[in-house]
Amino acid sequence: MAMSKRNKVIIYIKLLATAIFWGGTFIAGRVVARDVGPFSAAFLRFAIASIFLLFITYQVENRLPPVRKAQVIPLILLGMTGVFSYNVFFFKGLKIIHAGRASVIIASNPVFIALFASYLFKERLNLTQFAGIILSVSGAIVVISRGNPIEIFQGNVGMGEVFIFLCVMSWVAYSLLGKAAMKDLSALVAVSYSSVVGAVALSIPAYLEGITQHYSFYTAVEWFGIFYLGFFGTVLGFVWYYEGIKAIGATKASQFINFVPISAVLLAFFLLAEPITSSLVLGTIMVCTGTYLTN
């Protein structure tokens, strides 16, 4: 049955809101990373997310689907890449560099996924997609180097940029592992269980980092940032994004991801007073355009 115009508008609003939520994770992450350790912040984010995701999974599936023996290792790998390593690098990077810059670097995720999928799974790239990859990677280089790409080859790139780029590599690994190993699990179940795996793995380094001594000193703003990351940035964003995919298809829904770095840069400007430089604007345009062409 065809979707009504009203329902389609609601889906588009939800997808745009999702992009804004994901853009907001960089601002929340920047605020939280100032005083909360990276392992503690990542653990709390996914402890919150796991509770909501398991509840939603139970509601949708009418149970928590059992995990077969062959799925255990893939789920562990998903949790260690997309949750554990990604979020540790995310918070380490945001402690050092501006939220807007980090968001533009991470926006190159779909391009690197397409590039590695082409190599590993022999997925063909046409000329337009290849041009999109070149454009998007070039845009990320412009942002990482602050408009002077030669700095990358001179070793002048800071650790903040390195950590955020490692976020990208972690998400590429997570996406490709999911593509290869999660064919017989729904996206919701895979994300929920990998979230739990990541939270459990993060609990040990978070404890060693002193979370049990420090959590009572977190400010209300930091607690709100952690909750925002766990609920709005992870749970609600995921649910609404996959509602969009189901309603209008992956191709159309994925285009809303291009709004993530734009919303992050604007939110960082208004909420954190981060400067909008010419290299940041140019890099954002290049990455968004390249991502659009690639996907």
Q: What pLDDT digit, counting tens, does each position of 237-277 carry?
A: 999 998 888 888 776 787 788 889 999 999 999 999 999 99
Provide the pLDDT for residue 111: 83
Domain boundaries, the chain: 5-117+160-277
Q: What's the confidence (pLDDT) of residue 233? A: 95
End-to-end Cα, the chain, rounded Å: 27
Give per-10-residue mean pLDDT for the chain (295 aa).
79 93 96 97 98 96 89 92 96 95 88 83 82 88 81 70 93 83 79 95 97 96 98 94 84 81 93 93 90 80
pTM: 0.90
Query: Token pair of 191, please?
Result: 């994300």
Predicted local confidence at residue 144, as pLDDT: 81
Task: Write out pLDDT tens, residues 46-85.
Answer: 999 999 999 999 999 999 999 888 889 989 999 999 999 9
